[in-house]
């Protein structure tokens, strides 16, 4: 193999082997933009305050950014469902992935009202991450390696084409959370 020298910052020179295979990678994450969720909540509150079917209603939506939860309250289960539909519409319009919202069961609250807690999924859950790794292995992408790194995955390969094929395959499959691709490295 032929070696070459290359200049680097500070006037130094390093040797490298131009025949070495270069590895490319990208990260798979699943995050919710809390500012957009807050904007959607404010829009939904405004719409609920103006709608005829909610006149005199005590329906509320509260966002707890630290806990990553939304709490919906209404007089009955039907209105609670209507509040959730209004909120979902606003979230979709603001490009917030509704797949990352995990609604709990409606439960009775004080004064005969109902409450529902919705958890915001931040990061790729471990079961979905294992499913993604298994999916890539089952897809016979031998040159693509997937590694779980906390709440995200790193997909690496020596070929950019293989990475694009992996990305297309991941987009075409439903893992229960919205996936974002970023941090491309070469």
pLDDT tens digit sequence for 109-168: 888 889 999 999 898 888 999 999 999 888 887 788 888 888 899 999 888 888 888 999
**Structural domain of residue 27, as residue ranges?**
23-31+124-185
Percent of the chain with pLDDT over 90: 31
Shared domain check, 129 and 91? no
Closest CA to 22 of 143, 152, 103: 143
The answer to whether residue 2 sits within a structural domain is no
Mean pLDDT of 11-33: 70
pLDDT tens digit sequence for 68-88: 999 999 988 889 999 999 999
From residue 175, give the alpha-carbon distance in Å to each of 8, 49, 88, 99, 178: 43, 36, 20, 10, 8
Kindly indicate the confidence band of residue 16, based on its pLDDT and cuts at 50, 70 and 90: very low
Report the alpha-carbon distance of residue 97 to residue 101 in Å, rounded.
8
Shared domain check, 115 and 134? no
Q: Which has more confidence, 183 or 101?
A: 101
The answer to whether residue 17 sits within a structural domain is no
Number of domains making up the chain: 2
Closest CA to 78 of 29, 120, 35, 113: 113
Per DSSP, what are the bridge partners of residue 101? 120
State the DSSP H helix or E strand holding residue 138, giving kind and residue range, or none if neither: helix 126-138
Shared domain check, 109 and 51? yes
The answer to whether residue 42 sits within a structural domain is yes
pLDDT tens digit sequence for 28-52: 998 889 999 999 999 999 999 888 8
Shared domain check, 113 and 69? yes
The pLDDT score that the predictor gives to residue 21 is 60
Shared domain check, 39 and 68? yes
Q: What is the pTM of this model?
A: 0.76
């Amino acid at each position: 193999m032929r070696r070459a020298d290359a200049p680097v910052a500070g006037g130094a020179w390093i040797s490298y082997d131009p025949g070495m295979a270069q590895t490319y990678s990208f990260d798979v994450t699943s995050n919710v933009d809390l500012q957009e969720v807050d904007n959607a909540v404010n829009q939904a509150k405004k719409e609920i305050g103006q709608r005829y079917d909610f006149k005199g209603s005590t329906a509320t939506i509260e966002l707890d950014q630290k806990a990553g939860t939304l709490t919906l309250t209404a007089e009955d289960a039907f209105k609670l469902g209507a509040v959730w539909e209004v909120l979902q519409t606003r979230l979709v319009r603001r490009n917030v992935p509704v797949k990352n919202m995990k609604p709990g069961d409606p439960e009775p609250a004080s004064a005969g009202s109902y409450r529902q807690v919705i958890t915001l999924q931040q990061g790729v859950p471990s079961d979905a991450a294992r499913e993604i790794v298994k999916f890539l292995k089952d897809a016979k992408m031998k040159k693509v390696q997937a590694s779980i790194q906390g709440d995200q995955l790193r997909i690496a390969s020596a070929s950019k084409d293989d990475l694009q094929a992996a990305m297309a395959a991941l987009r075409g499959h439903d893992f229960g959370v919205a996936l974002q691709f970023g941090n491309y490295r070469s």
